[in-house]
Structure 1
Amino acid sequence: MNKSCISCNHHNHEEIDVHTTCVSLVPIFNHLEDEQMFEIAKLAKSKKYKKGEYIYQPDDTADSLYIINKGLVRIFHLTESGKEQLVRFLNPGDFTGELAVFRTSHHDSFAEAVKDTTVCMVTREDLQSLLSKYPAISLKIMEEFSNRLDQSEKQTTLVATEKVEARLAMFLVELLEEGEKEVILPMTKKDLASYLGTTPETLSRKLSSLEERDLIKQVTNKRIIIKDADTLLLV
């Protein structure tokens, strides 16, 4: 075997190692045996995106499952008036494009790399053959659908609430872990404003208002102490 072939094989093994790591991060796959995950890793392809690049846009064909290996991805819609409506962030181990498993469709949102990002992709055809071989994956995907529906309903409730302060209060209390008083915002204030259906300026004013009323304390840009969760929910 010549040197170029040895180099090629070495590269392929390295790629499969990366894909195995990627696949093992994902809840819909990480319950499988190592050999089964390795089988999925061999089907995966990886692609790198620079900060600001789109992984997909509305009307692009949805024909693959995208798994975030490294980096951060932002999923958002554009409203009729052209404003961004944040849907969620995807961290390493999170995935998007799962509808491609069940039907041929088109994306209706944007997936943007917030920083340099590496994504592993598994095509619809490969996914369907995996589902027939390992039915447990289907159950995990349905579980994820259920989680996302729950998150979507919570966001709809927030945006449908008339007062921005009430939306903000519900969001902050939702972040509170049992027995804790401090929350860490999972996104920038600009993105939080988009998520809550308001402007960054209004969000800043409402945070200041809640602080003046001694309901919260802003420790840093992202760290907030909730002083009185029960009263906060009554604003």
Structure 2
Amino acid sequence: MLFASLDTGLQAHLKRGARLRQFADGQIIQQRGQVADGFWLIEDGAVMVGQFGRDGDFRAVALLGPGDSYGELAVFAQRPRIVDAVSRGESSLRLIGAKAFLDALGNYPASMRALLGALSEQLQDTLGQLAGMRRGTNPARMAGLLANMAGPGDGPASVAITQQELAELLGITRATANAALGELQKRKLVTRGYGSIAIPDRAALGLFALE
């Protein structure tokens, strides 16, 4: 996420000026169409980002956790927000004000270069995920999603997410998600738990996603 690429001094400065806000399970944090008066930094808990449809159903596109940030692109573009965000369980977030962020960024030229690099990397990752989701089988798509959520590295990891949330993120039914996870577990690439997925080898899971 973009906030993580900033200089640690700038991060500390921005956090000091942003009040910590608490949200209950299922509470709407932001809505599509709102003015982008800042971006959010998750301190604790988790946030589902997506869009509410006309039927009221929420279609998730990402599950974010502590240390993740979102909404920076709307601040840079000076355009209304394009996603809704809902608290998953109780959560604590800071709203980093747009003016405070842009004003402070001018004093940290290295952070401006780091942001450009982070934006480029994020775009490449997104294009790679889209290409994989279009061509891959459901188990491969599931592997790609979990590998991305587990983060970089080759060792074991654990992703706190339910099968229903995985289904929503991939745009498939829960039964299809369960079958895809079953295939990955049969190959010993994941182990299903209550509300979490254990990954014994992130590198192996990532390689399977490319098949």
TM (normalized to structure 1)? 0.69
**Residues 144-194 of structure 1, C-alpha deviation per residue, up to 9 Å, x if partnerless?**
32332233223312331263233234445665953x5x5534422111112
- Structure 1 residue corresponding to 2:178, chosen from 204, 209, 212: 204
Secondary structure class of the residue paired with 1:119: strand
Q: Does 1:136 align with 2:110?
A: yes
- For structure 2, the 5+ residue unaligned runs are none
Aligned 1:73-152 pairs, distance under 5 A: 73-78=47-52, 84-152=58-126
Q: Relative to structure 1, is the Cα distance of residues 231 and 150 closer, same or farther in structure 2, using a 3 angstrom cutoff?
A: closer
Q: Deviations over 1:118-150 (max 9, x none)?
A: 211222111121122222232232233233223
From 31, 35, 44, the counterpart of 2:8: 31
Contact 2:50/2:83 (<8 A) preserved: yes
Q: Which has the larger radius of gyration?
A: 1
C-alpha separation in 2, matches of 1:217 and 1:44: 41
**Structure with greater contact order relative to length (CA < 8 Å, sep ≥ 6):** 2
Cα distance in 2 between the residues matched to 1:127 and 1:234: 38
Sort the Cα spacing of 1:205 and 1:61 in 2 relative to 1 into closer, same or farther, 3 A.
same
Partner SS for 1:40: helix
The answer as to whether partners of 2:144 and 2:206 remain within 8 angstroms in 1 is no
- Residue 50 and residue 164 in structure 1: after superposition, are their counterparts in 2 closer, same or farther (change >3 A)? same
Q: Which amino acid aligns with 2:8?
A: H
Tell me the matched-pair count: 202
| TM superposition score normalised by structure 2 | 0.75
Aligned residue for 1:216?
A: 188
Change (3 A) 1:147 1:190: farther
Name the amino acid aligned to 1:220: R
RMSD of aligned Cα (Å) = 3.3
Q: Is the 8 A contact 2:159 2:198 kept in 1?
A: yes
How far the C-alpha of 1:109 sits from its partner, in A, is 1.0
Q: Distance in 1 between matches of 2:157 and 2:13?
A: 40
Q: Classify the secondary structure of the residue corresponding to 2:32.
A: coil
